[in-house]
Amino acid sequence: MNDERPPTPREPDKPEPAFTPLGTPPEPPIRPREGDIIHTGPELAVGEADVRSAERAEFVTGTSLTRDAWRRLLKNRLAVFGMIMVVIITLASVTGPFLIRQLTGFTPDYIPTDVAALKSLPPFTAPDGSFSWLHPMGTDTQGRDLLARVLQGGQISLMVGIIATLMSLIIGVSYGAVSGYLGGRLDSVMMRVVDVLYSLPYIIIIIVLLSMFRGQSARGQLILLFVALGSVSWLTMARIVRGQVLSLKNQEFVLAARATGVSTPRIIFRHLVPNTIGPVIVYATLTIPTVMLTEAFLSFLGFGVQPPIASWGSLTTDGIQNIAIFPWQLICPGVTMGLTLFSLNFLGDGLRDALDPQMRKF
């Protein structure tokens, strides 16, 4: 190997090439001179396509955070499944009772006048025992269409979930952001209030509240339920947002905003709150199933939604009473609720993975 290499001019035992005895000047190394055209192999040639792609690359705008998160969410199969299920259940709950009424004439609280139909029919069964699409989930003990009732229960659950989440977004986010940003004694006081509310057994509070106003109409009871659930759902959100704001408020962009004369409310709500959006979205999606479950639990105990309005919790209670004879009365609302809660949790987890910058991987 070594022999093949041309001797370098500065080898220690050889003097400078100029002193070679024969006087032949050493061959100078070949260097491209100005104007030379250097031919390279085709693999090295820069083609027009490369130039174009390089040009284009310069104009490729960076993917936005939202698009990035969206892409990561779509890669997560469970989250996609959850998202699809949530969409289906939501659409079904919103339009379902109306469609059923249009197609079959059954409303969730329609009790057949025909005495023969006053019994619980198994799914896909007509009153005469033959196969029928009339009641895909069967009917309950009073002969009411179970599918219509389950979908109405879905409406209630979604409403409870959405309202409680909205409450937690509005109250929790502003409370937490204000407390975290202003800091000091105010922060201590505000957070102790949250601690106190936290330490109260909220299920008992809700039960007391609901039983105090028992005499109300079904609708009044429902509103009371929303208020009760909403008033406890913002506590964790306040803590999360406060923590975020605490870590954000010492960043230089807040100082920069203050140095440009931006007012404190504007700094809190325009500069800081949008920066907490990731954890807020995640927690909000995870609040929905929690609140739904609480509502179901309360209705199961008989404190929540009052008949004739149905909710997944109250349907389950009815189902449990007849579990041995009419198992579909428990299975149908139970499975629907379980599926919804699973889906929402999968979606929430997926969102957390997608939005959490710590988990970012490409």
Partner 1 sequence: MSTRNGNLLEVKDLRTYFHTEDGTVKAVDGVSFNLRRGETLGIVGESGSGKSVTNLSIIRLIQSPPGQIVSGEVVFDGRDILRLTENEVRRIRGRRIAMIFQDPMTSLNPFMKISRQLMEMTQLHLGHSRTQAHAHAVKMLETVGIPDARERVDNYAHEFSGGMRQRVMIAMALSCKPELLIADEPSTALDVTIQAQILELIKTLKQETGTSVILITHDLGVVAGMTDHLIVMYAGKIFEQAPTNELFAVPGNPYTKGLLRSVPDPTASRGTLYQISGLPPDVAHLPPGCPFAPRCDRAEDICSKEFPPLVEVHQDHHSLCHFATEVYAESVAEKSKVQ
Q: Under the rule (CB under 8 A), what is the footprint of partner 1?
A: 61-62, 64, 184, 251-253, 255-263, 270-271, 274-275, 277
- The smaller minimum CB distance to partner 1, of residues 72 and 271, is found at 271
- The smaller minimum CB distance to partner 1, of residues 69 and 146, is found at 69
Residue 30: CB partners within 8 Å, gap ≥ 6? none
Q: How many CB atoms lie within 10 A of CB 68?
A: 16
DSSP string, 281-329: HHHHHHHHHHHHHHHHHHHHHTSSSPTTS--HHHHHHHHHHTTTT-THH
Instruction: Look at residue 125 and give its three-state secondary structure.
Output: strand
Residue 347: CB partners within 8 Å, gap ≥ 6? 79, 82, 83, 86, 285
Min dist. Cβ of residue 85 to partner 1 (A): 31
Min dist. Cβ of residue 258 to partner 1 (A): 6
CB distance 30 to 316 below 8 Å: no
* Dist. CA 232–CA 291, nearest whole Å: 10
Residue 285: CB partners within 8 Å, gap ≥ 6? 344, 347, 348, 351
- The smaller minimum CB distance to partner 1, of residues 55 and 252, is found at 252
Min dist. Cβ of residue 270 to partner 1 (A): 8
Min dist. Cβ of residue 230 to partner 1 (A): 27
- The smaller minimum CB distance to partner 1, of residues 18 and 60, is found at 60
- The smaller minimum CB distance to partner 1, of residues 125 and 275, is found at 275
Pure H helices in 249-276: 252-259, 264-266
Min dist. Cβ of residue 189 to partner 1 (A): 15
Q: How many CB atoms lie within 10 A of CB 206?
A: 23
Min dist. Cβ of residue 251 to partner 1 (A): 5
